[in-house]
A = this chain, B = another copy of it.
């Protein structure tokens, strides 16, 4: 636990955060967590520790040739989806397989991200190597993510079959490749997100909650 002041200050701040979280859960009406205003500070800290990696893979954006639009689109979409406190850990890197691999390892292993989403580099062109990097650092691949994202994108564009997006687990983290275009990012993220909180549960990660007006997290009854 990290202290940012004397014990009293911390407790006061914690209480405020708790109330805010509690209120928010009530208001949003979804996925309620048994939080009372007297929850211990470690719980607040545990909640605050939900970190999500956002990796933009693009030669040109990383060189400053044009602005990164994918990363902010993912951040905005996650802000809309998630009802729990979380913090983004953003990276903007070129289409180099070793760099992508190292970034994914860093975000999963050292930055403690329970979820890492990438944008860009999933097409058939020579420089597109995001899926290769993802596969290389993953313990297990989850084919269902790519299948569903392509199925959803196919409703909009027939070229969805060219996308090689995959998802995989690395330790306690889930890595998901998203497409490069902001509209496609939102479409794909909304399509797979209902399964993501339960997947992170199965990986012994933090308990993600969603804004039900946007996405309903599904957790099967035991």
| Chain A residues within CB distance 8 Å of chain B | 123-126, 128, 132, 139-148, 150-151, 154, 157-164, 169, 174, 181, 192, 194-195, 198-199, 202-203, 218-220
Contact = CB atoms under 8 A, between A and B. Distances in A.
Contact of A162 (B144, B151, B161): B144
Contact of A147 (B132, B147, B174, B195): B147
B160 A144 contact: yes
Contacts of A174: 124
B195 A161 contact: yes
A157 B218 contact: yes
Contacts of A132: 140
Nearest to A161: B144
- Stoichiometry (number of copies): 3
A157 B199 CA distance: 13
A220 B140 contact: no
Contacts of A202: 123-125, 162
A142 B162 CA distance: 6
A124 B161 contact: no
Contacts of A154: 148
6 contacts: A124-B203, A142-B161, A144-B161, A147-B151, A157-B220, A161-B192
**Max chain B Cβ within 10 angstroms of own Cβ: one of A140, A145, A164:** A140
A124 B192 CA distance: 15
Nearest to A163: B144
A194 B157 CA distance: 9
Contacts of A145: 161
A57 B144 CA distance: 21
Contact of A124 (B125, B150, B169, B194): B169
A194 B144 contact: no
